A and B are shown apart, each in its own frame.
Chain A
């Protein structure tokens, strides 16, 4: 036996100890610490997002309102860039050397191995010139993207715009959106965002140590295809919209036209408008700031955000509600002596109308008549005045006044229809009557109605007692799905028989010589309408006209508001009549000069005047008289 035999164990011990060290270390790396798996995936996996095409938007005749147009982002991988002629490069792109240096530095700071955007959204023209010389600039390449394009440059506020998501949106979306994604910011683009955006596709590519693609991870098991956004068919009539925007040029105001039988919005003009193509592309930021600072506030969506005391057009609502309450019948007659006397005060009328029945009261817009019927509804209802008011308020609210109609656009305002409590608080007692808010009878005072609500009221009259929720999108996707809520008939609680004499009065307004809007009569079409003039404490009064046509089986209900334009008959009624004729006949029978008078008129207020599109409701207008004219 070798004397050092026992040393075998020492050597074995050292070998075993070393192996145990290795095993412990392996256990730590492979079982305990899971960082390495992440690092391995970071090494090898590249998630490539495939952006879907955003849904396009058509008008009601399937004409394109918004489509996608290809643009080209110039990308750079700094590591692969070799020296090149910077001057030529900048000239081709139309950028300055400073700009290039700044952008290139930014790209390098991001990563020298990965692609960064050097210049966003090159136009097709710049791209074409650049592409021929692309081989001179290794490390640069061009990536296709698409941007929104509006072939007719119309309906800006209706369609809205898209923009890159900000940090807050990303956070709110629970990680759905990522930096660089686009999202609808306003209009339909925003309210139908989840349909329009489509579904992003993902490719899980594997790359080698030199970032060369090596195929799909797990044979593409986790890859998804991009799904294009749903196309939307809007209810808008492109030609009608175009005409509306033309007519409203150089004016502030709105046109809303609704198809009464469906609630579909045919025209949605907010003036001043802007070219929606300005909100796309590289100049977007500058354009946006310009629009935002424009004193006439083109970004303000007047049809749903501007609230006006409706003025005389509100008499239609009162006439209907009073009949439904049984307070009057069509033959109820009051004698107009030039004003309505309450207590020791008078609400003046524009004329001395003499004995006036219901139809005539609409035809001549007699304030006295409405003073009387409001007094009957509130003070002679067989209950306390305050309860009479509550009943009246509830009946008016059913027209969609004082609350949102919930149109499919964001940021709709609800307007104002004061509650009984409001007056109780204001007068310090619940013992008030019609004389405390008599101006409501003629649509003045504490009322605020949006142009959309005005047009919807016309749709109700046209339908003789019901409406469909006004909406902008009539069909979604290739299957033409319509939202259920838009097909639900909403009754307003006025029996059909009460509409006859009101509509007769509205017809006479337009069609009988001496009617306030006789100048706007359309030959061969019986349009029923009502003019209104909205008092504006900040400047000239606003011109309002509401109408529907034809009288039987109406096809269009319309509201036109032109701010600071004076009498309703002067501007709003002719605009409405042109719109109605265009829609019903697809042509305009009246001489061109009729239209030109309007399109060439500029009714913009002086800029230095502080513009406030939302006309504040006048505190107590009981003494003020309605100025609706009865001149043609």
Chain B
């Protein structure tokens, strides 16, 4: 009996221990120990994720889907070179390969975009899910798919891609699941059309959700129209527009400002503005043969996006009859988004026009089901939402959709109205826009490229182009709403349908240029055009990078690909070049002593480059930040948020009127001037900085490439890179050049590229982060590109053949 009782107790211990070692347990609110034995066992745990693919280089994979065998050669950076018999098979292979190397990332991005992360990650991601649901990405993606289906011929391509991904998922054994699935203990969802649509919507969310309408409205009400216009209502006059010689066909479409359109009844408090990261942006340019050393056109592109591991980009090369194309795509999207082929090269930067407006809604009933528009009572569409939360109860609410868009802010204050959001990304496309980047692979000239990408909807991009014939071009591509002057700056009244924009410029009227007399085209997220453009727009535009690249390209002669690389890595800051002399001339000599002379000397001898070994950038940023903080104290309120003017406005005021009232600090009895602010900022900076130590910029603002769910062990942090958001090498914390590409279009196309990551999404693979160090030091890889399969047969050790089951 005694033995039986002992056996029983030990069984309980055994079962309990096994359970906890499988499922894990929570130590505290924030710390959870995962199932250690489930993860660390050698049979189906993380040890099965150890990448030994290079030890089994020849693999034949039989699967359903392709029509003919597809051969995939992996080079020494694990870049796949796909040789297929037709574009359908190539698209299938693209899906399969992306899933093979980036499945967890793709699944994660879909869940993130749809607001379904909490389903697998628990309560930590509820607020993120709520935000994404309110932005309506899934709602917009579903509407897009309904429209896509109306074009069955074009729609096929996304089906091939989906089939490729699912062929991989269906063949997965539990032990082969990517590491992160095992860590969080869940499985990948089946890939659907909605999945790709959501990934595309997520790009729009990253790049086109700018909408400071609420804080602008508060600022206008706080300081009045005259002061507002003084501070905000213009772009930096020094900006050089993207399109300097516009060849677009002018549209007759115009929009008059409706009467009484803005809702300026009261300030709005409590609203959370999910602003895009200030580091998001890009550079691109193309140089005509007349300015290059060997008579070949050159093209360069570096999109500045979040730097993550796995990387946002995946490099691939696709060869099939009529196609020999290389470049990068976002895992989850078919085709090549930024790349080149034998004939052309192309890339993109974000346009940044304001395509997101807010409207106050006049609810008729207390239940907020009906609202008044143009004198009529309309019923809001109710879309039930359920957020499943792992380990706790589901969260449910009804998403209300008005004629203006979904309700994104429900006010708790009865004096405030709810806000609906009109956002271009949620608009249904009326053309098959999703396969722009598959069609682009096949182009040999500008007309083809224009036609291939003409249905691209959102987020609007500056599409740069160059070809072997020496043509260069740049086109604003994407939907541009027809707006009245200044539309979108303030919250509008949702009382009339006339208040919302509903027409778009015909694509041939989007600003564009082809072979301009300057001999180059460029864009760096600055304003699109000068004032002569007939269609008003506002947006968030970059002030310095565009000027710098224009400066370099205007001065440059006999340029070659090495110059393009040097330009991409250029760290000269025009903001610092203009503002530093003002700082130095306004520091009273009496303030400079032996201790802080180091700061002054560093600034005086500075070449205005944000080099990783330079100390001056740190001193400059410290002082400039302090001046800016003190400057706009008039725009601080405890009750509501206000917008702050761009830095160029401060600089301009300092030049024009250093005694301007905005330089005065309201909380002091004295009347401050620009000089007072500089003195104060310099004194504070001297006090705070330990001048006995070195303050190299690379160490003060290191670059971090974080794992997507911030697993420190699988992130690369504290990379001493130099750079800054205002310079061409636009590194800003965990944002920056996510892919650097330079293409030379000579008799043969040559290209170089690098991104901060690796081809594999598997943290245990040597190809997970193998390009990070090269990227951080500014090295490029020559992109291995040929349509001759025998080249790859000789060079590539890892060869996978996808064989159709019916073979």
- The answer to whether A and B belong to the same complex is no
Which of A's residues lie within 8 Å of B, judged by CB? Answer: none
